[in-house]
Structure 1
Amino acid sequence: MILADGYGILKLCLAWASIVWYAILWSLGLLGCRAARRRYRNQRPSPLASADASSVPGVSILRPLKGLDTNLYENLESTFTQEYPNYEIFLCVADENDQALPIVRDLLAKYPHVRARVMIDEENVGVNPKINNLMRSYREATNDILWVLDSNVMVAPGTLAHSVEALDGPADFPTTSRRRIALVHHVPFAWSSEYALGSRIEEAFLNTNHAKMYIAINTVAVDSCVVGKSNLYRRSDLERVDGSLKPIANAAEGGSQPGQKGLAAFGRFLAEDNMIASALWHELGLRHDLSCDVARNAVGNMSVADYIWRRVRWIRVRKHMVLAATLVEPFSESVMAGSLAAIGSRYLFDITPWLFLPLHFILWLLVDLDVCDSLSGRRVPLLSRLAFIGAWVARELLAFPIWLFAIFGSEVEWRGRRYQVMKNGEVKRAQGVGKGPLGWLRLGNRTSNNGYEPLEVAE
């Protein structure tokens, strides 16, 4: 009898836990939806766009390049056409034979009035090739404010002015904290002219649930949550932190970490963007803000396998950086959260899952579509919307299987190189192809090798 009572209490607690968790998720989702409407549907021009060059802070734009990324010409051109009076551009490649260089030279010829330089070289400070690629431009940049944009990102002409305003601007600009803003970032908005199935699923992921939760978390601002597609920060702040995430006791008085600091200190991480943001947040006690612009992420001809391995890579990296959040992730997805809430509702309120689940998925989808409309600045046409909904369904169904596979591994592939993810998100180079139940998804023929090559770091 006692055992039966205990079992009944356990079921009651689990049922209420599922309902409370479901309510929390909906609160975050609606917060993200509302914040997206307010931030992205009511943009205003920045007064900095028409200001005199001597009255605004200078910005150095750093763009790491490698090969011919999708939409590369238009992506890079968007930095040449910024409506801001005081900036310079560094276009960085590691190899003088890089395929991106002809496009870079065409743009330099087209915009001779823009201060832009090509940097051909890399400095080996760690395992992250993006950091190695940026080191020379980082050292030679004229300005303290740096804007680092990935090569597959295109931005609107007013993005830089809005971003500087958020970083340094007036008190009436909507910020997430009263503390000084150390980093301004932009929500990725995926788009593709090559509508492969994987590309459509990537769009459905980035433009709905990812954006919704990303905006909500940054609105609540309880911790750092940054994707590094497009980040603006001060070099003087970065030169005080090292990625240890240990608070600096005298940070308010200008104190800094001992030892190696600055961009080079983050060469040991694969997700250097997230670590830089976390370092500014935790080591200096500063905060972040979102601009009212998006980072338009050009998605190429992505297969379903490409999509799966992309998600696997970042789940495995996050697992070593924020384990608790990664373990909770599947319970924040529509399928798992809805299923658990349906069971809890049946137990507590005798609501049939056949009524609860259809209503749940319809409302969840409508909120996601509203977020997508806010980010895109327009309502998606009906035919495109139907295709988008199909990709959304595929994304929701794939979410848990991808997470389950990713959570039990630590090897990832990025830019044609394989890495072993270690503690705190640090990585080391790996050789060969890892084994696993989804090994058949890998593209190309590679020789399996379980050895690791040592990391050579410049002294």
Structure 2
Amino acid sequence: MEWRTVVGGISLATFIFWIGVWCLHFMAIAYGKWRLYKTKELLPDAPRPGVSIIKPLTGTDKHLFGNLETYFSMKYPLYELLFCAHDDSEPALMVVRKLMNKYPSVDTKICLGKKVCVNPKINNMIPAYEMAKYDLILISDCGIRMKEDTLSDMVAHMEDDVGLVHQMPFVCDREGFAATLEKIYFGTVHARVYLSADLMRINCPTGMSSLMRKKVIDEAGGLVVFGCYLAEDFFMAKAITDRGWRLTIASQPAWQNSGHCKVLAFQARMTRWAKLRFAMVPHTLILEPLSECMFLGLLASYATNWLFEWSPLALFLTHILCWLILDWILLRTVQNGSVPFSKVDFIIGWLFREVYAPYLFLSALWEPTIRWRTGIYRLRWGGVAEEITDCKDVKS
């Protein structure tokens, strides 16, 4: 009798969790339709605060010139561009200098980084942060493509009680299976969590494109304080909310447009992010695999069979079909229209990601060290990183 009670309790808990995940699907779709692409405009007579845009550079690709040029051509009256590089040998600086010659009227500076912490991105940005002359700081990765009104939209969302405005990561239309896979990931599983978290006011911002109040970061000790973490964006957002400020999402997503688009590179990126989440928020070790479509479908099939004697196979197939349909709706919501591939391509890419997800999860657990840029790092619980200089400390 005891084991039946235990199994029944587990089945009931699984069923409740399953229903909760479906609620996230509908929340994300509804919130996305309500919030995304509803551009917020400043009043005609409202002051336009100046913005210091910090652009950390790392390498170059075929899209870099076009991506960076969108920052020179934005329709916003007062901003400066601060491009950051590790040293003067950075190849992306050649592209920046061409754009500086093409747009001499745009206030632009090149800043060379200095080694002050373990995080290489923070090292690059410190000099730019120190010379920034405006109270609003936009940290934006070099692979992000802006629209003419993006900065205005972000500034308009910076209300009196808001300390950080962030853009939800998404990707530009590109060709190839890897590009399709990236768009499916950022438009479905990532968007579902990101939009739901923002609706429930849970810390979710990424550092791809975030507008924040410099005075709040200064109160926390400045940018250097976050240099002990690799996921500095998470802890910067936490520092802002800890001081009573609100986070909010912009109406436009962050359009990633890197010229390097390969399946293996994408998988390595997802694995790295998983390692960071495990270290920062340990309960994701349990919640992440449970919230994946295939695994959750298997658990729900068993649970509903035990509780209601429903057919496990019928439930599992229905679960997958409904999940697929809702992900398609969410993807089109985030895309704001038609996607650049067929429904067949979507199904293939979606199945590939869903089936491959458990492998990436196990890979993140098996090899806890992180390879990022030119360094190798080990994470401690809480997200603090330490750089590994001895190759013997790294699993082969």
Same fold, TM-score > 0.5, yes or no: yes
The correspondence for 1:181, drawn from 128, 146, 162, is 162
Aligned: 1:314 with 2:310: no
Residue equivalent to 2:359: 401
Residue equivalent to 2:232: 272
**1:324 Cα shift?**
1.0
Q: How has the CA–CA distance of structure 1 residues 218 and 14 changed in structure 2, closer, same or farther, with 3 Å as cutoff? A: same
Q: Unaligned regions of 5+ residues in structure 2, if any?
A: none
2:254 is paired with a residue whose SS is strand
**Preserved CA contact (<8 Å) 2:40 2:156:** no
1:278-297 superposed matches below 5 A: 278-282=238-242, 284-297=243-256
Aligned: 1:38 with 2:30: no
The correspondence for 1:373, drawn from 306, 321, 332, is 332
**Preserved CA contact (<8 Å) 2:39 2:252:** no
| Number of equivalenced pairs | 395
Aligned residue identity for 2:11: A
- Aligned mates of 1:292, 1:200 — CA distance in 2: 23
Residue equivalent to 1:125: 116
**1:336 Cα shift?**
1.5
- Aligned mates of 1:301, 1:85 — CA distance in 2: 33
Residue equivalent to 1:238: 217
- Aligned mates of 2:156, 2:329 — CA distance in 1: 27
**1:308 Cα shift?**
2.6
Q: Unaligned regions of 5+ residues in structure 1, if any?
A: 170-179, 242-260, 433-447, 453-459
Cα deviations by residue, 1:8-39 (Å, 9 ceiling, x for unpaired): 11121111111100111111111011111111
Residue equivalent to 1:96: 88
**1:70 Cα shift?**
5.4
**Preserved CA contact (<8 Å) 1:198 1:306:** no
Aligned residue identity for 1:208: T
Give the TM-score, by structure 2 length. 0.94
Aligned residue identity for 2:253: V
Residue equivalent to 1:200: 180
1:292 is paired with a residue whose SS is coil
- Aligned mates of 1:364, 1:150 — CA distance in 2: 32
The correspondence for 2:319, drawn from 356, 360, 382, is 360
1:10-25 superposed matches below 5 A: 10-25=6-21
Residue equivalent to 1:68: 60
1:212-231 superposed matches below 5 A: 212-221=192-201, 223-231=202-210
Aligned residue identity for 1:416: T
Identity %: 29
The correspondence for 2:145, drawn from 154, 160, 163, is 154
The correspondence for 2:132, drawn from 120, 124, 141, is 141
Residue equivalent to 2:42: 47
Q: How has the CA–CA distance of structure 1 residues 342 and 305 changed in structure 2, closer, same or farther, with 3 Å as cutoff? A: same
Cα deviations by residue, 1:127-166 (Å, 9 ceiling, x for unpaired): 1111111111111111010000001111222111111111
Q: How has the CA–CA distance of structure 1 residues 429 and 69 changed in structure 2, closer, same or farther, with 3 Å as cutoff? A: farther
Cα deviations by residue, 1:355-379 (Å, 9 ceiling, x for unpaired): 2122211211122122221222211
**1:115 Cα shift?**
1.5
**Preserved CA contact (<8 Å) 2:369 2:394:** no
- Aligned mates of 2:62, 2:312 — CA distance in 1: 44
Cα deviations by residue, 1:223-281 (Å, 9 ceiling, x for unpaired): 3111111011011000111xxxxxxxxxxxxxxxxxxx110111111111111111111
Aligned residue identity for 1:234: R
- Aligned mates of 1:123, 1:102 — CA distance in 2: 20
**Preserved CA contact (<8 Å) 1:420 1:429:** yes
The correspondence for 1:82, drawn from 74, 83, 106, is 74
Aligned residue identity for 1:293: Q
Instruction: State the superposition RMSD in angstroms.
Output: 2.0
Aligned: 1:389 with 2:380: no
**1:200 Cα shift?**
3.2
- Aligned mates of 1:337, 1:373 — CA distance in 2: 24
Aligned residue identity for 1:285: G
**Preserved CA contact (<8 Å) 2:40 2:251:** no
Give the TM-score, by structure 1 length. 0.82
**Preserved CA contact (<8 Å) 1:312 1:405:** yes
Aligned residue identity for 2:4: G
Residue equivalent to 1:327: 286
**Preserved CA contact (<8 Å) 2:81 2:109:** yes
Residue equivalent to 1:441: none
- Aligned mates of 2:62, 2:216 — CA distance in 1: 33
- Aligned mates of 1:65, 1:7 — CA distance in 2: 58
Residue equivalent to 1:455: none
Q: Which moved more, 1:17-26 or 1:316-325?
A: 316-325
- Aligned mates of 1:102, 1:339 — CA distance in 2: 53
**1:112 Cα shift?**
2.0
Cα deviations by residue, 1:313-332 (Å, 9 ceiling, x for unpaired): 11111111110133311111
**Preserved CA contact (<8 Å) 2:165 2:249:** yes
1:254-269 superposed matches below 5 A: 261-269=221-229
- Aligned mates of 1:151, 1:450 — CA distance in 2: 32
**Preserved CA contact (<8 Å) 2:64 2:259:** no
Aligned residue identity for 1:211: A
1:147 is paired with a residue whose SS is strand
Q: How has the CA–CA distance of structure 1 residues 51 and 373 changed in structure 2, closer, same or farther, with 3 Å as cutoff? A: farther
**Preserved CA contact (<8 Å) 1:192 1:299:** no
- Aligned mates of 1:270, 1:285 — CA distance in 2: 24
**1:410 Cα shift?**
2.3
**Preserved CA contact (<8 Å) 1:59 1:145:** yes
Residue equivalent to 2:393: 450
